[in-house]
Amino acid sequence: MTDRQTMRFEDDLLAAAPFLRAFARTLCHDAEQAEDLAQEALLKAWQARDQFQPGTNLRAWLATILRNRFYSLGRRRKWHADYDQEIMERTLVAPDDPHGIVELEDVRRALAMLPDFQREALILVGAGGMSYEEVAQIAGCPLGTVKSRVRRARDELQAILFEGRLGPADGASAPLAALVADFDRLSGTQAA
């Protein structure tokens, strides 16, 4: 790469960083881990900048790097459990619009219920603004498979959100059940 190409690559890489962070966050479900993953992907892309072919889609190339790194790390962390800082932060703040936060959390939980391959395709096409062809290249599968995954993910997400399949948030039903049990105990009635 010439100095001019290197400078252009650096500018394009920096411009793609927010997209990588957002994509990493949808894969990781953890802000800190997503930031680390995005930074690793940017570093790997910078180290492999000579392998990038100018004129091709940089975001697709970066998404492929990030995705491959995520699955490599996932195989290593299979039995590793982390403290979820994001959940703790959300429980300690008072949002301006609690209904918006609840709806966003419902969407996040519904997305987490989708199979990884469907969630990934839906996020790249829907939120990432990538074409089906670009996602097919990233996922290493046929174009029709990507279209099918996105369609099924949309249908499943709609079913989860609007047909009552979401269920209570993790841990949300336990305090309510304890409160009802205490009330029943104190009032001398038994829960049905």
- Domain range 94-192, CATH class: mainly alpha
List pLDDT tens digits, range 58-116. 999 999 999 988 888 766 555 554 556 666 555 555 556 666 666 777 778 888 888 88
Backbone angles phi, psi at 55, to 5 degrees: 95, -15
- In angstroms, the CA 63 to CA 130 distance is 10
**CATH for the stretch 1-82:** 1.10.1740.10
The domain segmentation of the chain, as residue ranges, is: 1-82, 94-192
* Tokens standing for residue 36: 């680390």
What's the pLDDT at 115?
86
What's the rounded Cα separation, in Å, for the pair 119 and 139?
A: 12
- Report, in this order, helix, strand and coil percent for the chain, each rounded to 5: 75, 0, 25
Task: Dump pLDDT digits (tens) for 125-175.
Answer: 887 788 899 889 888 889 999 999 999 988 888 888 887 777 665 544 455
Q: Is the pLDDT of residue 189 over 90?
A: no
Write the pLDDT tens digit of every residue in 10-42. Answer: 899 999 999 999 888 888 878 888 899 999 999
